[in-house]
Amino acid sequence: MKRIGRWVWRAAVAAALILATIIAGAACDARRRLADLKPWHRVVLDDVQAQEMGEPFTFAQYQAREQKLFADLRRFESTIAPEDRTPVNRYNAGSLSHPLSAGRDWNQSYETTPAQITGGALLVHGLTDSPYSMRAIAGVLSDSGIYSLALRMPGHGALPSGLTRATYEDWIAAVRMGVRHVKSKIPDGAPIILVGYSNGGALVTRYALEAIVRDDLPRPSKLILISPMIGVSPAAILARLISRLGVVPYFEKANWLDVYPEYNPFKYVSFPANAGYQSARVTNAVQEGLDRAAAAGRLDRLPPILTFQSIVDATVSTPAVVHTLYDRIPANGSELVLFDVNHFAGVDPFMRASERSLVGQLFDAKARPYRRVLVTNAARDTRNVMAEIIAPNAESASRVELGLAWPPQVFSLTHVALPFPPDDPLYGIEGPGLDAGLIPRGRLSPRGEKDVLAINSESLMRLNSNPFFAVMAERIRIWLIPAKDSIQ
């Protein structure tokens, strides 16, 4: 036994030394690899925190804190150095990337109120994102009489340094407060809908799982998830450990996974390690909540879920959306809409086998308790798309022509594209361009010499809007009013 104990001790010491070596090596790599930090990476403004947002904390109080935050941000902008006053720095007042160039700072929370309110929705944006990403969805909901609150999550919208401090607890407390506010704005008994994009999708799912066991929380009637972050890489935990060295000035860059110029007015481009760690905590909470609900026989209390997801997604796990979530929920009217790759583009041979096989796994002859919709090429020799629909518990698919087509030279959707229509002023592939006062990121497709651009050219080449947003809008309207369903 003593010999076994010595071996266990030695193995533990060896593992600790290996881990310490990895952490120190990664911190050194961050110091070498990442660009120099700017004031917006170091200065942390005062934002609302979880301990402040317990009941009866109201949205009016939240807005008051938010207004102070953005007043502090405007003062910060007046202090940036002359060399940082570039035409594309979002913190340079008057630049093409400054949020107010859009005529309104969409980084802040906002409400959308239809003439006649038939229900309410809380809209939660994604990680490093802002309420701007919820504009088009809020419009779709308003057309159906749904009041909506697009809520800025703590740590977002101002300086990326805010995400070095923000926590999962801050975000879920904000969601609870937002749901209380939505409930107060709609008629008694009217449905409450939760809409979440990316990390916001995980947050609203986590709230829904909490609400089925807590009588003091208003229960949502339906969920709408867009590229939901149901599964992320375990590397987020390691990144958190590496960032612990960030308190040492020599290793301050260890707090960051990416450091880039902040040229996007409504989304951080730099990415703190803490943000990835907190997002991993959210997804773990979702998975644990699903496990507990399944063990207690409560999954049938979850509301119906409508999800939009690209088959290929470099940010979240599409298989996790399918297997961790949809394969576990009962027959309750849920629906999964998947956007296939553009087979006409000829990229199929270059795709990973696991991603090529996912469509076949989902659209086989096996019946499932939820509706499946696949937006895909009408034929291999055309850019035109159709919808393949398999009704709940059915085994065969019907086909519906959509009157839409893949844009030339686009081979897939992306994680960041889904909530933005093609004519979005900033991200749209058919947007109005500089006439809207913003750099038309969605229309940029840089081709030329390497190492010329001051920003990541790969991110500029990523599709930023959804050519099939009309499909999303129709499915949302139909799903809200099942009697009008024209796609069976």
Q: Among candidates 226, 185, 222, which has minimal Cα distance to 202?
A: 226
pLDDT tens-place string over residues 386-409:
999 999 999 888 999 999 999 988
pLDDT tens-place string over residues 166-180:
999 999 999 999 999
Q: Among candidates 225, 381, 375, 405, which has minimal Cα distance to 311?
A: 375
Adjacency order of strands within the sheet including 119-124: 110-112, 146-151, 119-124, 192-197, 222-226, 305-310, 335-339, 371-377, 384-390, 398-405
Q: Identify the burial level of 323 via C-beta atoms within 10 angstroms of its C-beta, where 0-12 means exposed, 13-18 middle and 19 or more buried.
A: middle
pLDDT tens-place string over residues 5-29:
666 666 665 555 554 555 555 556 5
483 confidence band (pLDDT: 50, 70, 90): very low
List residues bridging with 398 in a β-sheet.
389
Q: Give the whole-angstrom CA distance, residue 483 versus residue 342.
A: 32
**Amino acid found at 354:** S
pLDDT tens-place string over residues 287-328:
999 999 999 999 999 999 999 999 988 888 888 898 889 989
Q: Which helix (H) or strand (E) holds 121?
A: strand 119-124
Residue count of the chain, please give it: 488
